[in-house]
Chains A and B, each alone.
Chain A
Amino acid sequence: MARTVTAPGSAPARTPGRPSPRPRRRVKALPYVLLLPALVAELAIHIIPMLVGAWMSLLHLTQFFIRNWTQAPYGGLSNYRIAVNARGPVGKDLLQSFLVTLAITAVVVGCSWLFGTVAAVLLQRPFPGRGALRTLFLIPYALPVFTAVITWRFMFQRDTGMVNALLSDELKVTHGHPFWLLGDRGFAAVVIIAVWRMWPFAFLTVTAGLQGIPGDLYEAAAIDGAGSFGVFRRVTLPLLRPVNRVLLLVLFLWTFNDFNVAYILFDQPPAAADMISIHIYNASFITWNFGLGSAMSVLLLVFLMVVTLGYLGVGRLRSRHA
């Protein structure tokens, strides 16, 4: 009932010659009044700062102007030119960080998706201990990120950590005690932690997706003589496609934007683990050049938007042709 009354432009509301317009206007305005606090909060913390950020990226906003930023000289696109110039030191480091982030993200998204899907499929049938395993797999997701990463930081310590004790002293996989938090191994350290934190979400989402697949489809495939893997390939995977489409995008965005792992794991991330968020953060707060930092942030946003829209667009095209 409430729906028809408040539907915008619904016929009775427009009928002339009917008195008492006040209550009707109140009903019409009501949803907006209810939304107002949320809108104000979003505007104040997200939308306005984003616009301010876009404006800042056009200014020579260095440390001298932090407290009176309106007086910072206008620089046009010069910050962007510095950021994308791969031959200059700033642009070179940014490109390097971008590529490292891309590589880390690719591995993390792939592994998280694979682990999550495998675990969800293996836990599809009831067996004793299934509930306990599901709960256990959720814990990394529930743990506050900083306590989790600090624990990993301890585990990756060269002489006192668990990882070296396990890998070189007990399993003899590695020789001696390598550094995990310095140099190229930082890449592996970040990937391991990110997968550890991220795959439970993939597991959750795929589990929810599997519950939406009707059981008789499996039976039909089994009657057709399909083995477990055949059923997975011909029934499960195609039906999970809509779920996977969103899941992969969310995993990508979360991993690519992640700041926490590299920030807490390292004092100063090595080049091989220089995630883009922390790179921009350090570039901004070490030099206090907020104009340049904002330009980098805007470039990052543009990249993410292009990827997201492109990805969703391609998916839509494909599903239309399918």
Chain B
Amino acid sequence: MRESRTLRWARPVVLGLFALFTVLPLYVMAVSSIKPLKDVQGRFTWLPTHVTFRPFVDMWRTVPLGRYFVNSLVVSVSATACSVAIAILAGYAVSRYRFAGRGTFLTTVLSTQMFPGILFLLPLFLIFVNVEKYTGIRLYGSRTGLTITYLTFALPFSIWLIAGYFDTIPRELDEAARVDGAGPLRTLLRVVLPVAAPGVVAVAIYAFMTAWGEVLFASVLTDDSTRTLAVGLRGYATQANVYWNQVMAASLVISLPVVVGFLALQRFLVHGLTAGAVKS
């Protein structure tokens, strides 16, 4: 296919503009995190007057960022672990068995993904409050309640992704294990799962990202002692006098592990996510 001259000329310009649009906030975040306070309190400058790493030290003292970090980490890791385990079981059932209700299950689970969160929020809040009233189990304002909530958020796509990954693993492997006398669960754990390890890691990263970035439910279902980063950082940025250099430093630290994890596994994740979206 020959390329018109306009296209050859337009490509670098258009792609350059997209790149600029994408990079600007990332640049602002990075450069502001190494600025002294007076730089972010005056007119914006593209470079710091002098480079300082103080914001990365001070940010832990201005707000209880460490506590938010621990809360986010505990909730996200537990939610990830649970949802990966549940998704592996469900994904195996969906991939290896044809049973009545299979289609209904998949459609229902996937469609909950598309419902507005606000729809579940009010009833869930009420249910949590009342569960505590009648059983004494503390869900509202606890990390347990948030963990249970988050594990279901990643579940639909996780099941979808992992079932898709299991589909690529030949059934002959299962059958060989069966012939050797292994039951279905042992087959799954000892034979299929090790082969599916990259898929499991990708699902785990996806689940972690979902929990790590969630805002709406965290803003209602947590209290002062269980605040996650998502709510804590917003609280920080809505104060009258904001230390923007510290907020940017904190944002950088919060974002980096997730972005690195995503990019490291982008090939697989991207394939799974787009396939999930396109096929559904």
Q: Does B266 contact A (CB under 8 A)?
A: yes
Distance (Å) between the CB of B120 and the closest chain A CB? 5
Partner-binding segment picked from A45-53, A77-85, A182-190 = A45-53
**Are A142 and B263 touching (Cβ within 8 A)?**
yes
**Are A48 and B127 touching (Cβ within 8 A)?**
yes
With A45-B120, A52-B123 given, is the CB distance from A135 to B266 under 8 Å? yes
Cα distance A280–B117 in the bound complex, in angstroms: 11
**Are B127 and A304 touching (Cβ within 8 A)?**
no
Per-position binary interface string of chain B over residues 82-117, scored 1 when its CB falls under 8 Å from any chain A CB and 0 otherwise:
000111011011101111101001001100101111
Closest chain B residue to A230 by CB distance?
B4
Distance (Å) between the CB of A166 and the closest chain B CB? 8
**Are A8 and B99 touching (Cβ within 8 A)?**
yes
Residues of B within 8 A of A142 (CB): 209, 258-259, 262-263
Cα distance A49–B271 in the bound complex, in angstroms: 32
Distance (Å) between the CB of B68 and the closest chain A CB? 11
Shortest beta-carbon contacts, A-B, top 9:
A142-B262, A144-B213, A34-B93, A147-B251, A49-B123, A165-B44, A31-B93, A208-B274, A38-B90
Cα distance A260–B43 in the bound complex, in angstroms: 27
Closest chain A residue to B23 by CB distance?
A136
Give the contacts of A222-246 with B (CB-CB under 8 A). 222, 227-229, 231, 242-243, 246
CB within 8 Å of A: which residues of B?
A: 1-4, 6-7, 10-11, 14-15, 18-19, 21-26, 28-29, 32, 40-45, 85-87, 89-90, 92-94, 96-100, 102, 105, 108-109, 112, 114-124, 126-127, 129-130, 133, 148-149, 151-152, 155, 159, 171, 174-175, 178, 184, 209, 212-213, 215-216, 219-220, 229-230, 233-234, 237-238, 244, 247-248, 251-252, 254-255, 258-259, 262-263, 266, 270-271, 273-275, 277-278, 280
**Are A37 and B22 touching (Cβ within 8 A)?**
no
**Are B15 and A138 touching (Cβ within 8 A)?**
no
Q: Does A62 contact B (CB under 8 A)?
A: no
Closest chain A residue to B87 by CB distance?
A38
Residues of B within 8 A of A253 (CB): 114
**Are B213 and A35 touching (Cβ within 8 A)?**
no
Q: Does A115 contact B (CB under 8 A)?
A: yes
**Are A6 and B97 touching (Cβ within 8 A)?**
yes
**Are B44 and A150 touching (Cβ within 8 A)?**
no
**Are B22 and A196 touching (Cβ within 8 A)?**
yes
**Are B277 and A247 touching (Cβ within 8 A)?**
yes
Interface of A is mostly: helix
Closest chain A residue to B215 by CB distance?
A260
**Are A34 and B90 touching (Cβ within 8 A)?**
yes
**Are A144 and B175 touching (Cβ within 8 A)?**
no
Residues of A within 8 A of B32 (CB): 154
Residues of A within 8 A of B255 (CB): 143-144, 147-148
Give the contacts of A1-47 with B (CB-CB under 8 A). 1-3, 6-8, 27-28, 30-32, 34-35, 37-39, 41-42, 44-47
Residues of B within 8 A of A155 (CB): 24-25, 28
**Are A277 and B280 touching (Cβ within 8 A)?**
no
Q: Which one, A123, A139, A229, contacts B15 given CB within 8 A? A: A123
Cα distance A264–B116 in the bound complex, in angstroms: 17
Closest chain B residue to A252 by CB distance?
B114
Distance (Å) between the CB of A236 and the closest chain B CB? 11
